[in-house]
Amino acid sequence: MATRPDHPPPEISWSGWGDPALAAPLPEGLGTVLRQALGIAGHGRPAPPLQELRLTPARLPAAIAAELADIVGSSHAREDHETRARHARGKSTIDLLELRGGELIDAPDLVITPAGHDEVQAVLELCRTRRVAVTPFGGGTSVVGGLRADASAFVGTVALDLRRMNALISVDDESRLAVLEPGLRGPEAEALLGARGWTLGHFPQSFEYATLGGFAAARSSGQSSAGYGRFDDRVLALRVATPAGTLELGRAPKSAAGPDLRQLVLGSEGTLGVITSLTLAVDPAPEERVYQGWTLPSFAEGTTVVRALAQDGPRPTVLRLSDEAETAMSLARPDALGGGPVPGCLAIVGWEGRFEEVERRRRVTAERLLAAGAEAVPGAGEDWAAGRYRGPYLRDALLDAGALVETVETAAFWSALPRLYATVGAALLDTLRDAGSPPAVLCHISHVYPSGASLYFTVACAQLEDPIAQWQAAKAAAGEAIVAVGGSITHHHGVGTDHRGLYPREVGALGLDVLRAVKRALDPTGILNPGILLER
């Protein structure tokens, strides 16, 4: 029997991150660092009141809006200013700067909330015949311009908000599988599964607001990926509504029946279809969770230790390593801001599972860390766990203070990782310094595999007169550096519009032609997320 959350989730801030009640000013220690080290002395542009946000006029013909309302019910088809504004942008720094900048914001003409697969299918078929662009909407947490669809060639645009599709449909305890709907947010899914003794083990920084459908569509990776794997590793089956019909994909753990078509949907970012059901692998809810902090003498030495754990084990559930700059700035320990730097490089190591298994893995890992010259940092693991979802709130406070803060993430094989780290860091540093805004460039290893790892850069500097152009130049330089070294243009944030120009460099012209051919088959008139992932 399907079960749903007891209460609706809180509404995410329209102009920043998360719960507006949790927004906080900068800690005084960090404010001092910003002024002294980065020359940030001014104030950023605050967001205007929501009702003063300038939106493009709605242009969807009334007759088509009425037809769509007939499918989902009139109360689930909304075109008021606030609803349109809340579906206009994601949560990248560029998105937030645009919302603060007084510019005219292109917004969907109509926001509809279907109740299930049949309604989604009917909406897509109608929009196909009426030439209406459709942007699937989950948690609205994209940080790569994933909500910036180009609907200029269509008669209007609709945001397809999946929040009503939020049920746990069934659990197969014997196979350790659960069937869930795409509109469930991370905490809702964990609560529903936890009541039955299971977990997905997927905890990205966007966990509190992102949805299961979004996790799949963007190939999300959570902070416990060393133990549970990426989200796409957990997807066993999918039901997908497309403008051309319904796809039912996945009927066994593995199959040799041709290419795995599930992989076409995973990472497709709403351009090929709308995920309406996911069958996911689940694990027993852990009896214990333990997180610890360790310092290692340098990022290079720490990387060697992290690689050994990833390749030879015991591989922790959580395994992260901050470089010297990030450790010194204490961004790996949000509670420690202003409390003095931690020497060396801070590693966060966590274990989840049965009591005896956690203790065994923790003990062996500690022995290997100590043998490598690591030193324990009391309380650092617990501090990280307590603050693991608070980072985006800090970004909002930094923007308010006049800082430009954004991230770049990539991945490479272990042998290429040192060069990737040096090259991308230098590209960001040089570009922003030459523009007159010398930055702090911080980095950490956030996801590990036997063959390689991801690098996650955080950049902070003073905003210039045009902070959007300022960041786009730095981002372009970082992207070129990534391609030159052979890294991936994105490890877990997705392509959206921010990485779209580099996407052909990763998959090649022929690969792009293959993807376009698939899109023509599933979305013949190109209504789904036009301009996302692929150039129109």
| Whether residue 497 has pLDDT greater than 80 | yes
Tell me what pLDDT residue 338 has. Answer: 39
Segment 420-449 mean pLDDT: 97
Helix (H) or strand (E) holding 472: helix 467-485
2-16, 84-98, 281-295, 344-358: which range is least confident on average?
2-16
| Whether residue 166 has pLDDT greater than 70 | yes
Helix (H) or strand (E) holding 212: helix 212-217
- Residue 235: band (very low, low, confident or very high) from pLDDT cuts 50, 70, 90: very high
Segment 58-85 mean pLDDT: 98
| Whether residue 144 has pLDDT greater than 90 | yes
| Whether residue 186 has pLDDT greater than 90 | yes
- Residue 102: band (very low, low, confident or very high) from pLDDT cuts 50, 70, 90: confident
Domains and CATH numbers, the chain: 27-47+59-161 (3.30.43.10), 168-284 (3.30.465.10), 288-388 (3.30.70.3450), 392-485 (3.30.300.330)
- Residue 334: band (very low, low, confident or very high) from pLDDT cuts 50, 70, 90: very low
| Whether residue 476 has pLDDT greater than 60 | yes
Tell me what pLDDT residue 336 has. Answer: 44
Tell me what pLDDT residue 42 has. Answer: 67
Beta strands 452-462 and 440-448, pairing class = antiparallel
Tell me what pLDDT residue 416 has. Answer: 98
Segment 497-508 mean pLDDT: 96
User: How many residues can be counted in the chain?
Assistant: 536
Q: Quick check: 522 and 124 in contact, CB under 8 A? A: no
Tell me what pLDDT residue 44 has. Answer: 76
Say what percent of the chain tops pLDDT 90.
88
Beta strands 177-180 and 157-161, pairing class = unpaired
Tell me what pLDDT residue 232 has. Answer: 97
pLDDT digit string (tens) for 171-184?
999 999 999 999 99
Tell me what pLDDT residue 176 has. Answer: 98
- Residue 43: band (very low, low, confident or very high) from pLDDT cuts 50, 70, 90: confident
Q: Quick check: 38 and 403 in contact, CB under 8 A? A: yes
Segment 216-228 mean pLDDT: 97
- Residue 532: band (very low, low, confident or very high) from pLDDT cuts 50, 70, 90: very high
pLDDT digit string (tens) for 107-130?
999 999 999 999 999 999 999 999
Q: How far apart are CA 82 and CA 85, in angstroms?
A: 5
- Residue 330: band (very low, low, confident or very high) from pLDDT cuts 50, 70, 90: low
Q: By 3-state DSSP, what share of the chain in percent is helix, strand and coil, each rounded to 5?
A: 40, 20, 40
Q: What is the overall mean pLDDT for the chain?
A: 94
Tell me what pLDDT residue 337 has. Answer: 37
Segment 153-168 mean pLDDT: 98
Tell me what pLDDT residue 184 has. Answer: 98
pLDDT digit string (tens) for 352-392?
999 999 999 999 999 999 999 999 999 999 999 999 999 89
Segment 9-36 mean pLDDT: 83
What are the structure tokens assigned to 444, written together? 């950490």
* Chain mean position to CA 134: 21
| Whether residue 536 has pLDDT greater than 80 | no
Burial of 28 (0-12, 13-18, 19+ CB in 10 A): exposed
Q: What is the DSSP letter of 254?
A: -
Q: Quick check: 116 and 72 in contact, CB under 8 A? A: no
- Residue 341: band (very low, low, confident or very high) from pLDDT cuts 50, 70, 90: low
Tell me what pLDDT residue 339 has. Answer: 46
Tell me what pLDDT residue 335 has. Answer: 44
| 438: three-class secondary structure by DSSP | coil
Torsion of CA 235, 237, 241, 243, to 10 degrees: 90
Torsion of CA 201, 203, 207, 212, to 10 degrees: -40
Phi, psi of 376, rounded to the nearest 5 degrees:
-70, 145
Q: How far apart are CA 416 and CA 175, in angstroms?
A: 38
Say what percent of the chain tops pLDDT 70.
97
